[in-house]
A and B are shown apart, each in its own frame.
Chain A
Amino acid sequence: PPPVAPPPPGPVDLVALAREGKLKEVVDLLNQGVRPDPPTFFELVASCSDPKHLDELKKIYEFFFRSPFRADLQINNKLLEMFSKCGSMADARRVFDRMPDRTMDSWHLMIDGYAANNLGDDGLQMFEQMRKVGVCPNARTFLSVLAACASAEAVEEGFIHFDAMYKDYGITPQIEHYIGMIEVLGKSGHLNEAVEFIEKLPFEPPVAVWEAFMNLARAQGDIDLEDRAGELMVFMDPSKSIASKIPTPPAKRRSGLNMLDGRNKLGEYRVPPKIEKKVVKEQVYVPDTRYVLHDIDQEAKEQALLYHSERLAIAYGLISTPARTPLRIIKNLRICGDCHNAIKIMSRIVGRELIVRDNKRFHHFKDGKCSCGDYW
């Protein structure tokens, strides 16, 4: 009997495949002419949540765009969301531009997408465009705008939009907006200014504010502010305390705290510290150009030494492996004296063991010394 052709896969199969992450198969089936219905399209788009699915998402979009329901708002919005999750705002923008209708969500998704992809500038431009076409921003819009300001490190504009919110649009800022503003300041490195902003809040700052600020201080590496915020956070919500937290060592520099700065007469009675020049004479590296054949000029000689193959191999090894792991290099000729000297010092500078096997012996370089005892 003639082989029975398998029934064409239905939408259910597509969705199942997509949920398993088999998006390539989905695209193959679409290529074979399978036509999904809108809910299926929605599901397919929603499964492309990772940058590695970008190609598939693009293809799915092309099929969608050629389908009769290409104007479907929900699916289009989902596309905006997923393209930005996949890290391609250019594609998101294309979808956006081709959308016949847009909702507030569409605008928000775009601005949020730009913010999340470090393109806050474009996000702010989007906001400008939004106002130009006459869409009136709402409270949610300003969250996106503040996220874009944070991403673009645009402090000035952050304040301008924050103020405009109430002044021009009559929207009373909510906790989220204040936190958004703290993020704008914190991400731009304006930590002290963020603290002042919190202190000026018209209400008692809730835990969420301190928590957000603590995370910013931590990321920006200010342990004092991190501690202060952490203390307040735990004070308000003891469940957030970390038992194993190491107490911060006391600071030696306490200027501005004791009110007596102007009365410190120590300088009047003390010999100024000597100009301290710490010279590590034990190892001086001067390129030893004797190791290059003598028919090139001095600079070229240094260059020639600098780009000896073992150094290239070491440099590549450094950028390819974690800090402090040893590197093993194999060289076909005997290592030259200059490289030997240089690698000795390098082993100390980079904090690694560098093991070079040349055609004669092994050299284990560590802490500025070589196992061969400088005989090569």
Chain B
Amino acid sequence: AAYAFGSMLSAGVDPNNVTLVALLSACADFPSNPSALPLGCAIHAQSLKRRRPDAAPEEVVVFSTALVDMYAKCGRAGIAGEVFDRMPVKNRVSFNTMIAGYMRAGDVDHALSWFNRMPTKDKVSWTVVIDGCVKNGLLEEALDCFRAMQLNRVDADYVTILAVIAACTSLGALNHGLWVHRYVKNQGLSSNVRLANSLIDMYSRCGRVDFAHQLFERMCKRTLVSWNSIVVGFAVNGWCHEAIEHFKMMRSEGFEPDAVSFTGVLTACSHAGFVHEGLKFYDLMRKHHKLPPRVEHYGCLVDLLSRAGRLEEAMSTIESMPFRPNEVVLSSLLAACRVHGDIQLAERVTAYLLQLEPECDSNYVLLSNIYAADGRWDGVGEIRSKMKAIGVTKTPGCSSIEIGCEIHEFVAGDGSHPQSDDIYEMLDLLRYELKLWGHDPKIIVGATDE
């Protein structure tokens, strides 16, 4: 396309608006192409040069919008914003494009401020904002937006709902999820396979794999993703037999398992400690399906071996990996070292880990705990000085719970909740009962007429 444009210019043909817009969207669609951005700039320059005062405003809008889109997708949100600001007339499409651009760049504030200034918002605008919020980790805001969208009586389409379900999944917001499921039914979208798949995922990530299974059973058409979702769902919830069962059912129904399916079934095996089965599935994947194992498969395998106490085998698996092990793989081995009290191996693993991600606090804590558990205080001191030197700090732990349709978040020692007093009173009672547990002195009863 770039070549064609060059020859067009050299031929003296005056490119019209339609051509330019087409070219710009071509650039926008391939932001990874190294010539995309320079070409886009060139077109922008051309257009400035040839600005025609008589151009119809609609054409200008369309063209500028395409420009904004191009800059945004090529990662130049700032320039896109400038172009957008200078646009004399803006339509809904240009707003949507700009908001999407800011969202892509992670600049949620700008995106929201433009969104709030939009005179009329359509389905696409809402979707762009909700999806943007989800992608930028503002999950509760996404749900709030969705609620506002409902209040504004704008119907959501499946793209919006996918984003909303993703938010529920990450938040573990089961009640919201149930509500969305009902919404899907009411909107007549039940037959949408992608929605059903993500609902299955949502249910299993909210700990209600039974609901996920129900939904799965009711699907009239299933894709590979559906099968994968339910297998993984069973696996992470510890329903290992069901996971393996469904993996087998999937194959017998003629689906070719992919990497994700194997991740699921291997997770199940590692969860349940089925070492033998796990190794068999691993072989099946490599030999029969010719799938090169990915890092997560190694993760499962290492986990599986570590849990079974076969630490050396786990270590040699790590060493035989064709690529560098990631944090997940190593920390499961490290955790196993802690359980089995193998300090030497733990040190080897940690050496790997610290090379890999020197900033990750949890590894330091883990190793420090392994040392401490064994009374190796010199080791603890060393780790702590290393941590101070690199400047690692502990990420605050944060837990959330959904009550009704509200998500409540807590950090350690939190006193900010309005019902803080009651919460701490409950903790006091629990502390007392926990201490009693295992040492519940039944009070002596004297001689009675029993």
Chain A interface residues toward B at CB < 8 A: 252, 255, 264, 266-267, 270, 272-273, 275-285, 290-291, 293-295, 304, 306-321, 326-334, 342, 345-346, 348-350, 355, 357, 361-362, 364, 371-373, 375-376
Contacts and interface: CB of A to CB of B under 8 A. Distances in A.
Nearest to A357: B172
B380 interface: yes
B172 A328 contact: yes
Given A280-B438, A309-B412, A357-B207, 8 more contacts: A290-B373, A308-B397, A310-B410, A314-B401, A315-B423, A315-B430, A350-B430, A372-B238
A319 B433 CA distance: 16
Interface string B345-382: 00000000000000000100100110011000000100
A98 to B, nearest CB: 37
Given A277-B442, A284-B439, A371 B449 contact: no
Contacts of B400: 313, 329-331
B339 A375 contact: yes
Interface residues of B, number: 63
Given A283-B438, A294-B368, A304 B413 contact: yes
A293 B394 contact: yes
Given A318-B426, A319-B426, A272 B399 contact: no
A328 B445 contact: no
A376 B401 contact: no
Interface stretch (B4-12, B48-56, B414-422): B414-422
B157 interface: no
Contacts of A330: 171-172, 399-401
A342 B427 contact: no
Q: Give 8 nearest A-B pairs by CB, closest first.
A: A284-B438, A371-B238, A312-B410, A330-B172, A309-B399, A355-B207, A313-B399, A315-B426
Interface in B39-83: none
A284 B413 contact: no
A53 B442 CA distance: 52
Interface in B253-290: 271-273
A311 B402 CA distance: 14
Contacts of B403: 316-317, 320-321
Given A312-B414, A312-B427, A329 B399 contact: yes
B207 A364 contact: yes
**Secondary structure of the B contact surface, majority rule:** mixed
B93 to A, nearest CB: 37
A280 B437 contact: yes
Contacts of B320: none
Given A276-B442, A332-B398, A307 B413 contact: yes
Contacts of A304: 412-413
Interface string B205-247: 1110000000000000000000000000000111000000000
Contacts of A284: 437-439
Nearest to A308: B412
Given A312-B414, A312-B423, A315-B430, A333 B439 contact: no
B411 interface: yes
B339 A364 contact: no
B441 interface: yes
B435 A285 contact: yes
Contacts, number: 175
Nearest to B205: A357
A323 to B, nearest CB: 13
Contacts of A285: 434-435, 437-438
A375 B398 contact: no
B211 to A, nearest CB: 12
A313 B434 contact: no
A244 B373 CA distance: 61
Nearest to A270: B447
22 contacts: A272-B447, A282-B438, A284-B439, A294-B372, A304-B412, A309-B397, A312-B423, A316-B401, A316-B423, A321-B403, A326-B207, A328-B172, A330-B400, A330-B401, A332-B397, A332-B399, A333-B398, A346-B434, A349-B430, A362-B207, A372-B238, A373-B271
A313 B430 contact: no
A312 B449 contact: no
Contacts of B444: 275-276
A252 B427 contact: no
A276 B445 contact: yes
A291 B370 CA distance: 10
Contacts of B307: 375
Contacts of B171: 330
A283 B437 CA distance: 7
B24 to A, nearest CB: 41
B14 interface: no
B391 to A, nearest CB: 15
A313 B369 contact: no
B368 A316 contact: no
Contacts of A364: 207, 237-238
B450 A349 contact: no
B427 A315 contact: yes
A253 to B, nearest CB: 8
A153 B206 CA distance: 49
Nearest to A306: B431
B399 A331 contact: yes
Contact of B433 (A272, A278, A349): A349
A373 B273 contact: yes
Among B335, B368, B408, B449, chain A packs the most CB atoms within 10 A around the CB of: B449
A281 to B, nearest CB: 6
A372 to B, nearest CB: 7
B164 interface: no
A266 B449 contact: yes
